[in-house]
Amino acid sequence: MRRTISILLVCFMLVGLLAGCGSEPASTSPSPDTSAPAESTSAGSAQDAELVDRKFTKTRSITVEVYDRGNDGGTPPENNFYTNFIKEGMLRDHNVEVTFVPVGRWTEVEEINNLLAAGDAPDICVTYSYPTIQTYANMGGVLDMGPYLREYKDLLPNLYGLLTERNLFWNEDPETGTVWAIEALLFNNARINTFVREDWLKKLNLPEPTTLEEFENMLRAFKNNAQLLLGSEAKQMIPFSISYDIGWRADHLLAAFVPDSMTDKEAYINGFDDRHILYPGIKEGVRVLNKWYNEGLIWQDFNLYGAGDTTEDNLMKAGYVGSFIHNWDYPYRNGEEGIQANLQKLVGPDAAYIAVAPFKNDAGVYRKFLANPIDRKIFFPSTNDEPLASLLYLDWISKLENRRFLQIGEEGVTHEVMPDGAIKTLAVTGEKIMNSPNNIDYTITINGLDLGDPELNAKSLALNYAGVDARYIERAFELSKKDGRIIPQFNVGEIKAEEGMGPALASKRDNFLVQAVCCPPDQFDAVWDAGMQDYLNSGGQAIIDERAAKFAQFYEK
């Protein structure tokens, strides 16, 4: 079914492209000769000539993608206090009208695929899936940003200053020189944490778990003492919670089973799946989850709820969940609407989740696979006929004073300035609430609080969660990076076998991992082996083979 849909999407795109062949192209490309002088007759220079002090003499219009998280108490992501700030600023500073287009955060790959295939994608698109971009680039559906970035460099001081050429040209093909997308900056490289109920540990007189055995015993203690911990609601007890996205939500546990001796080469060749499912040892980590599930230590209904469903969060807020693995600051987000805040309102002021480090690998370290300093991928579809206006938008939101306002809001309303200059976030509801942490859905060129001063950043980070004791944040940030490992970038250009395979392989991965966790223990090996073989036969092995060949071509000469 997915292959059929992919073929249909390709056909729709080709029809759109062919329909435009009889007329002048909508986009204005600079001269492909990047050494040409700025006074050349390219359409890009014609646009440049219409700028006075980096402001268009004639109003331009662009559309910009924004994630819709559907969070409780939020505002419409395409129309709120912060979008108005951006719209007014872009019109004032560059004479560019901006319209935001909401895309579901948890279904973004599918929605972007559909928008690109229909020719309706926003002028500025954002995704975490580079293979999706590459697929449409190969069909002529994506602009090569390289020539624009080079020609307009002098007009983009804030964009270049924030991302530098490293992130701007991170995806530059070593053979063709194309740049299909730029990489946003991952500013605070914290990824995932393991959380447990601190108050439950105290109530049962349990130490914080520091090994897999201790963590497992803690889960059993939660289950066996459900009556003490939850009273009349003992049947609601969930010692450990997880979601259908097992590769992400069990990351710390699974990483502990990866041999510390795995080389960077092995990690690159097998690392195209961002859930690291092909790393050696992952199977044994999933086997542990299977054991826990069959012991009743894992939420038994986790496989019934898909992307974007809030049932699990609500169970955490209600006080039924003893532990889980998630984004490094997950329970502390969203102020009064967040997990920690609701937990304390419903259960009591001492109820809280605390980050712990319980999973050691074979070298005795708490290994975390951290990301390179890249985050979301920003690209322009070929239907974008305002590339310069779009780049000026990215430059505008990269300007320190603009992104600072978007990240912390108004003094006295969304934050207060402490005596040492640190920024303390305040709880807020209504029109000035932020739909995402530090408004990362609008600061799409950076993920992580940056106030322009490293010392101020460090002081402010722990105060950046309204209503949450700073000690929880400080601990979570520290543990999320403890014993971290970053796999270097290996730029080998396009991996053709990855084209169009991202969503299909991710779906297969998620499905067979769920089946492997939920099956009877005596069927685990058969379920895992069949699911992995199907994953490999469906394109995974072809990607591995091509990556190995490209690695040899560029790094083993």
Task: Name the amino acid, one letter, at 472.
Answer: Y
> Hey, what long-range contacts does 416-425 have (CB within 8 A, 24 or more apart)?
418/459, 418/463, 420/459, 421/456, 421/459, 422/456, 422/459, 422/460, 422/463, 423/451, 423/456, 423/460, 423/463, 423/464, 424/460, 424/463, 424/464, 425/335, 425/463, 425/464, 425/465, 425/466
> Which tokens go with 244?
């259908």
DSSP 185: E
DSSP-based three-state secondary structure for 195: strand
Say if CB 466 and CB 432 are below 8 A apart: no
Tell me, what's the pLDDT at 509? 97
Please check whether residues 55 and 162 belong to one and the same domain: yes
Query: Is residue 427 very low, low, confident or very high in pLDDT (cuts 50, 70, 90)?
Result: confident
Could you tell me if residue 450 is inside a domain? no
Could you tell me if residue 116 is inside a domain? yes
Please check whether residues 100 and 170 belong to one and the same domain: yes
Please check whether residues 220 and 359 belong to one and the same domain: yes
Say if CB 389 and CB 57 are below 8 A apart: no
Distance CA 125, CA 129 (A): 11
CA atoms within 13 A on the CB side of 336: 9
Tell me, what's the pLDDT at 68? 96
Please check whether residues 295 and 270 belong to one and the same domain: yes
Distance CA 406, CA 228 (A): 45
Say if CB 529 and CB 512 are below 8 A apart: no
Tell me, what's the pLDDT at 337? 87
Distance CA 303, CA 469 (A): 33
Say if CB 302 and CB 244 are below 8 A apart: yes
**Other residues' Cβ atoms within 10 Å of the Cβ of residue 128:** 12
Q: By C-alpha distance, which of 204, 122, 201, 207 is closest to 394? A: 122
Please check whether residues 201 and 349 belong to one and the same domain: yes
Could you tell me if residue 416 is inside a domain? no
pLDDT higher than 90, residue 411? yes
Domain limit, last residue, from 468, 493, 518: 493
Please check whether residues 225 and 308 belong to one and the same domain: yes
Please check whether residues 354 and 274 belong to one and the same domain: yes
Mean pLDDT of 264-275: 96
Distance CA 540, CA 271 (A): 11
As a whole-number percent, the residues of the chain with pLDDT over 70 amount to: 91
pLDDT tens digits, one per residue of 125-163: 999 989 889 989 999 999 999 999 999 999 999 999 999
Query: Is residue 49 very low, low, confident or very high in pLDDT (cuts 50, 70, 90)?
Result: low
Domain, as residue range, for 292: 192-370+487-493
Mean pLDDT of 280-287: 98
Number of H helices, E strands in the chain: 23, 15
Could you tell me if residue 523 is inside a domain? no
C-alpha dist (Å) from residue 63 to 40, 130, 206, 212: 28, 21, 54, 49
Tell me, what's the pLDDT at 48? 56
> Which tokens go with 259?
């041999």
Looking at the structure of the chain, the number of domains it has is 2
pLDDT higher than 60, residue 555? yes
Distance CA 526, CA 58 (A): 65
Q: DSSP labels for 112-154?
A: HHHHHHHT---SBEEES-HHHHHHHHTTT-B---HHHHHHTGG
Between strands 55-56 and 446-447, the pairing is unpaired
Could you tell me if residue 498 is inside a domain? no
Mean pLDDT of 24-39: 34
Tell me, what's the pLDDT at 348? 95
Average pLDDT, the chain: 91
Residue environment code for 303-318, b if the CB has 16+ CB neighbours within 10 A, otherwise e: beeeeeeeebbebbbb
Query: Is residue 446 very low, low, confident or very high in pLDDT (cuts 50, 70, 90)?
Result: very high
**Other residues' Cβ atoms within 10 Å of the Cβ of residue 23:** 7
Tell me, what's the pLDDT at 246? 98
Domain limit, last residue, from 493, 510, 536: 493
CATH code of residue 159: 3.40.190.10
Please check whether residues 66 and 82 belong to one and the same domain: yes
Tell me, what's the pLDDT at 334? 86
Domain limit, last residue, from 465, 493, 521: 493
CA atoms within 13 A on the CB side of 279: 28
Could you tell me if residue 283 is inside a domain? yes
| Residue whose entry in the numeric block shows the structure tokens 């709880």 | 427
Q: By C-alpha distance, which of 124, 136, 127 is closest to 99? A: 124
Could you tell me if residue 417 is inside a domain? no
Tell me, what's the pLDDT at 105? 92
Please check whether residues 106 and 58 belong to one and the same domain: yes
pLDDT tens digits, one per residue of 54-103: 999 999 999 999 999 988 889 999 999 999 999 999 999 999 999 999 99
As a whole-number percent, the residues of the chain with pLDDT over 90 amount to: 82
Please check whether residues 180 and 201 belong to one and the same domain: no
Tell me, what's the pLDDT at 72? 83
pLDDT tens digits, one per residue of 5-24: 444 444 444 434 333 333 32
Tell me, what's the pLDDT at 198? 98
Mean pLDDT of 327-345: 93
Please check whether residues 378 and 268 belong to one and the same domain: no
pLDDT higher than 90, residue 335? no
Q: By C-alpha distance, which of 19, 44, 22 is closest to 33? A: 44
Please check whether residues 223 and 161 belong to one and the same domain: no
pTM of the shown model: 0.79
Which residues are CB-contacts of 336 (< 8 A; sequence separation ≥ 6)?
73, 427, 429, 466, 467
Could you tell me if residue 152 is inside a domain? yes
